[in-house]
Chains A and B, each alone.
Chain A
Amino acid sequence: MKNIWTITKKELKSFLYSPIAYILTSFFLLISGFFFYNILAWANDQTMRMMQSGYGMNRININQMLFEPFFNNMTIILMFLLPMLTMRLFADEKKMRTEELLLTSPLRLSAIIIGKYLAALIIYAIILLLTATYAIFVFIYGNPELAPLLTAYLGLFLLGAVFIAIGLFASALTENQVIAAVISFSSILLIWVISWVGESGPGAWRGILTYLSFFSHFKNMVSGVIDTQDIVYYLTFIFLGLYLTRSVFEFRKWR
C-alpha cells in the first residue's frame, strides 16, 4: 500500500507540475459549463411552457430535465478528455527511459500500475467535484432530489474510471503519447457504439453487445438506479484494463 502511494504521489506531482492537468480541467469546466447553461435554459423554457399551458405540470422533474441530459453530455467530453489525461502515464516513462528505474526497483509491477491508475483517478475525481458547483446552484434556486444526483455522479465516476483503465493500457502499448490517446479514444468509442450494432443484430448478439456497451449501463445509473450488475460491469472492465496493462509488461520481457 505504501509502495502504491509512492507512485501515486509522484504521478500527482508530475500532473500538477505540468500544464496538462490545468488545461484539461479548465476546458472540461468550460465545455461542461456551456452545456449546463444551455440545458438549464432549455429546461427553464420547457417548464415555463408547461406552467403556462397547465399541461404536464405533474411531470416537471428537475433531475430528469436538467441532470440527465447534462450527464449524458459530460460523458462525451470525458471520452475526449480522459485519453489526454492518461496518455502520458506509461508512454512518457518509456520515452524518457525512466521506465528502467521503476522496473528495476523492488516495487511490484502491480503496485506501479495501480499507483499510476490511482493518480489519474484522483485528478479525475477532483475535476468531477468541481462540476458539483453547478449542482449547488440548482439546489440553491430549486429543489432537486439528491439521491438520483449522487447515483448519477457515481455512474459518471465509474464510467470515467473505466476510461482511465483503458487509457492506462493504451499508454503502456507505445512510447508515443499521441498514439496512446488515439488508441484509447478509439477503443472507448468502439465499446460505446457497440450497442448500436447490437440493436440491429440478431437476438443472441443483441443481448451480448448491449451488455458490453458502456451506454446501456450508464443509462440506468444516470436515471438514479443502482444495479449491482452495472457496478460489477464497471469493476470488471477496470480490472481487465489493469490486468491487460500488466500483461503488456510481462509480454515485453520475452519479446
Chain B
Amino acid sequence: MIQVENVSKRFADVQAVKDISFKVEKGKIWGFLGPNGAGKTTTMRILTGYLPPNEGRAMINGIDVSTDLKSIKKIVGYLPEVVPVYSDLTVKEFLRFVAELYSIERKRIRFAIDRVVEKTNLQDVYGRLIKNISRGYRQRLGIAQAIIHEPEVLILDEPTIGLDPAQIIEIREMIRSFKDSATVILSSHILAEITQVCDGAVIIKEGRLMATPTRDEWGKNLEIVTTGMASDTDWSDLKQAFPVISEVRAEGQVLKLEFSETLNDFNKIIKYLIEKDIRIKEIKAGLEALYMKIILAEEGRGS
C-alpha cells in the first residue's frame, strides 16, 4: 500500500510538489496524470527514495521513505522516464548487474534473470549489446530491471512513451499482469491508457493535487461525439434497451450517458447506436471528460 500525506518538495526556486495526499491500496494500478512539469516525476522520485520530501510523509507498506530508505529501496521497483541502461553492456550483463545491485543471492540470479526475460519477452536480444537493440526492447529491458527483485511496489514513469501502437499494447498487457504481485503506479500523457489499465488516477497540475478519481467514478459516464445527429433524436429507447443507463443527454453533437453502476464494456451500447445509424466520431470514456474539465477549467477555456 502506498500512502502519501501532505507531501511537499521544493527545489532552489521552484515549488515542484505542494501538499499532495493520496492513497493506493495493495494490488491496484494507479495512474499519474497531468501536464508536463506538473510534478509527476518528482512525486515518483520521492516514493522511490531518490529525493527526500521537504514536508509531509510518504509511506510504502507502512515504511516511511524518510526514515528507512534501505527497506524502501528493496521493495520498490522503478522505471525512470529515461530507461537507465548501459549501452556498452549486453542485455544479459546488464540484468546480471542489476540483480547484483539488489543483492539477489548468487545461485538465484540465473533464475531471476530467466524469469524477467521471459516475462518481458527479451529472449531474442538476450546476448546483444544494449546499444544495438530497438526502442521497444529497450523499454522492455527497463521494465525487466525494475521487476528483477520482485518488488512489492512498482513505479513506472511514462512506460509507453515513444513506442509504436503495437508495442504500447504489449507493455500495457504486461503492466496489467503485474497487478497480481504488486501495487503499481504509472504516469502517462495518454488518457486512454489510464482508463484502460488503471483502477484510479491522481491528477496533478502545477504541483498540486486536483482530483483522485477511481475507476468506479469514471466508469459511470461516457461521451460519444457523433456527426450528423439530429438534435431532436429521441433517446428513450436507448434507456429502455440498457437499464444501466440512468441519464441520457444530447449536447449538440455530443451524446452524454451516465450509468447507475460502473461499466467497463461499452461495446453493446456502441453496437446499438451503430445499428441505429448514428455515425460515431469519437468515444470519450469518463476520465477524459473529467481531466479536460480540471485542466482546462482554471485556464477559463473549458466547460
Answer yes or no: are A and B bound together in one complex.
yes
- Tell me whether chain A's interface is mostly helix, strand or loop, or mixed: helix
CB-based nearest B residue for A103: B50
Asked whether any CB of chain A lies closer than 8 Å to the CB of B103, the reply is: yes
* Known contacts A10-B97, A104-B50, A107-B101; A98 and B84 CB within 8 A of each other: yes
Instruction: Evaluate contact between B103 and A100: CB separation under 8 angstroms.
Output: no
Asked whether any CB of chain A lies closer than 8 Å to the CB of B173, the reply is: no
Interface with A: B69-77, B164-172, B269-277, which one?
A: B69-77
Instruction: Evaluate contact between B74 and A106: CB separation under 8 angstroms.
Output: yes
Instruction: Evaluate contact between A98 and B85: CB separation under 8 angstroms.
Output: yes
Find residues 5-32 in chain B having any chain A CB closer than 8 Å to their own CB.
11-12
Q: Residues of B contacting A13 with CB < 8 Å?
A: 88-89, 93
Asked whether any CB of chain B lies closer than 8 Å to the CB of A105, the reply is: yes
Instruction: Evaluate contact between B84 and A97: CB separation under 8 angstroms.
Output: yes
Asked whether any CB of chain B lies closer than 8 Å to the CB of A141, the reply is: no
Bound state CA distance, A14 and B85, in angstroms?
12
Q: Residues of A contacting B137 with CB < 8 Å?
A: none
Of the candidates B11, B87, B101, which one forms a contact with A106 in the assembled complex, judged by CB atoms under 8 Å apart? B101
Find residues 90-136 in chain A having any chain B CB closer than 8 Å to their own CB.
96-107
Instruction: Evaluate contact between A100 and B97: CB separation under 8 angstroms.
Output: no
Asked whether any CB of chain A lies closer than 8 Å to the CB of B52, the reply is: yes
Q: Residues of B contacting A97 with CB < 8 Å?
A: 80, 82, 84
Bound state CA distance, A17 and B52, in angstroms?
35
Asked whether any CB of chain B lies closer than 8 Å to the CB of A59, the reply is: no
Q: Residues of A contacting B85 with CB < 8 Å?
A: 98
* Known contacts A3-B103, A254-B52, A255-B11; A101 and B88 CB within 8 A of each other: no
Binding site for A on B (CB under 8 A): 11-12, 48-52, 70, 73-74, 76, 78, 80, 82, 84-89, 93, 97-98, 100-103, 145
Binding site for B on A (CB under 8 A): 2-3, 6, 10, 13-14, 17-18, 96-107, 253-255
